[in-house]
Structure 1
Amino acid sequence: MITIKDIAKEANVSEGTVDRVLHNRSGVSTKTKEKVKKIIKKYNFKTNPIASALALKKKFKIAYLIPKYDEQNVFWKFPAMGITKACEEVENYGVIIEKFTFDQFNSLSYLKEFSKLIKGEPDVVVLVPMFKEETIEITKKLESLNLPYIFMNINLEGYNNFSFIGQDSYKSGFVAGKLMCLSLKEETTCLTIQTRSNISNYLAISKRIEGFNDYISSNNIKITNLNLTINLDNLALVKKELNNLLEENQKIKGVYVPSSRVGIISDLIEKNKIKTLHIIGFDTTEKNVKGLENNTIKFLISQKAFNQGYESVLMMSDFLLYKKIPPKKVYSPIQIIIKENVEFYEPNKRSF
């Protein structure tokens, strides 16, 4: 007997999408709706109202602990969008999503939001382990309550999370190092710009820097790498400091920003200086894409952040509804985005 899962597989859509078509709910494109309807008709599929009613009696809760986003930290908008989109697809199966957001520069905010989260008695927890010491405290609490948890975006080792979804930060930094070395001549200088002081506590960034430096050193490439740590709270001061540094050291031909703030930084560099620079950063935020289109940013490395949020909801829903154990690691792609291919990237995120 054919099931909703079989129809979803044949149509190459999610089970939630099939359910929406069956119950004539919004949120499905006309093209997808017609494709699913043809398969339903082909197999003469009928829903079982009794089974549906029983399914709705059982409610499951997935709780998210993720960073807030704002104009300077817009990256986290996209996983949040993915979570919201997936929520629409699983709600009819009795899966409830709760999001708790914290200040990514404030470890106390991280702990405070977790305290709120745990009071809601979730069935599983998805968290972005931004702060290592505090994550130890949080995971001990989860384990004492026998609550399954997974990490999203940042992969800390030595914990009992049963899955991770996100990019391999070290390898993405390694790729960035290769791109920089292909762009620069030897005997030049590259500037790595960090935008937070507690870099050792922010694993994804530190791993990207490690991978970048390892590519240069392991290939014996004669490029000097300088480091600069800045505070984006005072952009006028950063602009002056950065342009003075570029003026004093004109051998700097590459700028590596191991975060989504590359667009903010490229905007601070004077036009007469930026023409000679090869700037590489991460993530396809609106400002970063504009930098590509204006030729102020050479490469962006993206990880499909929208999909991290979206896929994590579906993965955890499958676990709760069907006891399907997810893979230990679900890696996001390491995609190199340039001016010429950016318009074809992540159409689902833009349309949503």
Structure 2
Amino acid sequence: MTNKKKTIKDIAKLAGVSKGTVDRVLHKRGKVSKIAQEKVEKILKEIEYHPNPIARSLKENKAYRISILIPDSEIDIYWQPAHEGVKVAEKEFGPFGIEVKIFIYNPSKKEDFYQKSIEAINVSPDLLLMTPLFEKESFQISQACKENDIRVGLFNNHLSTNKTQIFIGQDLVQSGKIAADLIDKTVAPQSDIGIIHIDKEPHLLLKEQGFKNYFDNKKSSHRILEAKNFNSDNQSKFEQDIEQYFRDNPNIKALFITNSKAYKVAEIVSKLMKPCSLVGYDLVPKNISYLKQGKIDFLIHQRPKEQAYLSISHFAEFFLFGKKVPLQNLLPIDIVTSENVDYYIN
């Protein structure tokens, strides 16, 4: 017996009670006699009744508010697909009462991140989604949300200080191991290999950790140089620092760049006409251009659009359907080359 065509009127007739009684039992409001409640519950069980949360939320005009804290894509183009993912999710779930409010912050200024975080909390959302680029401030915001009974979800990178966080993104340690494997297969034995952070953020250290672990476990003959961070705010100084890095390490044969700014190194390596394999991250336009020219060997695609979309959709389905939100949703780690890149961007 199914409930597909059963209305409240049908249930009332089968149970021998009024429609008002059925409504009170279904919505757990008002007084109902024990006998009437048992009759209704017996029929609901027989017809395998399941409530329609969407219909209920529309009827009750129930809205769920999501604040999303995300970096400015005009400052760092990596985040552009993530903004697109937010828009797709907003369009899909908006008609069912999911309200998404976006708070954009400067990814290089922790003060701006913190200020926008406070603004995101002050609208009293049911959920705060954020990309926690600043560890200390992100932890403080998470604690403030806990005190105000606001759920928190993280995407792109997580907090090392919180082991029970809900996280949508990639296994960053594993992605570092994959980068190491790619370089290991590319360069000759006993090569010098460098690790470069550009405008370092805490989560990049997890990629570095995975990279080093790969070679440690393999007992490789390669010499892995100490990781070095370069700031790119001043382009002229950045170029000078990279050029000096190559002078200091004349035998370097490969570089692992831990974020989406591999193109900045590729530009300089190209000018120096230095044979050096490069592995970086993300399908930003300049990275794609250098990949197609053969000046970047591999890119690891982090799927920022999918990360942002899933972050909203998981919670939307929780609010609307009561569907459990996974503690972690680790996305596949895609290896992109000049031969398959068009499949990802078309």
Secondary structure of the corresponding residue to residue 326 of structure 1: coil
Query: What CA deviation, in whole Å up to 9, does each residue of 1:197-233 have, x standing for no partner?
Result: xx4xx33211001111111121111222233321211
Q: For 1:228 and 1:144, locate their aligned partners in 2 and report how far apart those are by CA, in whole Å.
A: 39
**Counterparts of 1:211 and 1:57, CA distance in 2:** 48
Aligned pair count reads: 296
Secondary structure of 1:345's partner?
helix
Q: TM-score, normalised by structure 1?
A: 0.78
What pairs up with 1:277-288 in 2 under 5 angstroms? 277-288=276-287
Alignment partner of 2:62 out of 50, 58, 63: 58
Q: Deviations over 1:78-137 (max 9, x none)?
A: 111100111111111011111112222222111100111111111111111222211221
CA distance in 1, matches of 2:194, 2:260: 16
Match of residue 211 from structure 1: 210
**Secondary structure of the corresponding residue to residue 187 of structure 1:** coil
One-letter identity of the residue aligned with 1:131: F
The sequence identity of aligned pairs, in percent, is 24
AA aligned opposite 1:243: E
Structure 2 gaps of 5+ residues are: 6-51
Q: Show the counterpart of 1:295.
A: 294
Counterpart CA distance in 1 for 2:117 and 2:185 is 44
Q: 1:1-352 residue pairs with structure 2 within 5 A?
A: 51=55, 54-55=58-59, 57-70=61-74, 73-159=76-162, 163-196=166-199, 199=200, 202-226=201-225, 227-247=227-247, 249-271=249-271, 273-274=273-274, 276-345=275-344, 347=346
* Contact preservation (8 Å) 1:56, 1:93: no
Contact persistence 2:57–2:63 (CA under 8 A): no
Separation in structure 1 between the aligned mates of residue 211 and residue 255 of structure 2, nearest angstrom: 12
2:244 & 2:138 partners in 1: Cα distance? 39
Q: Does structure 2 conserve the Cα–Cα contact (< 8 Å) formed by 1:148 and 1:161?
A: no
In 2: Cα distance, 1:191 partner to 1:156 partner:
26
Q: Which amino acid in 2 is paired with 1:235?
A: Q
| TM-score calculated relative to the size of structure 2 | 0.80
Query: Which residue does 1:16 correspond to in 2?
Result: none
SS, match of residue 273 in structure 2: helix
State the Cα distance separating 1:245 from its structure 2 match.
3.3
Alpha-carbon distance change, 56 to 313 in structure 1, aligned in 2, over 3 angstroms: farther
Query: 2:270, 2:295 within 8 Å by CA — same for their partners in 1?
Result: no
How far apart, CA to CA, are the structure 1 residues paired with 2:56 and 2:322? 18
Deviations 1:274-330, CA, capped at 9 Å, x for gaps: 4x1110001111111111101100000112111011111111111111121211100
Look at both structures and tell me which one has the larger radius of gyration over its CA atoms: 2
Q: What secondary structure, in the 3-state scheme, does the structure 1 residue paired with 2:203 have?
A: helix
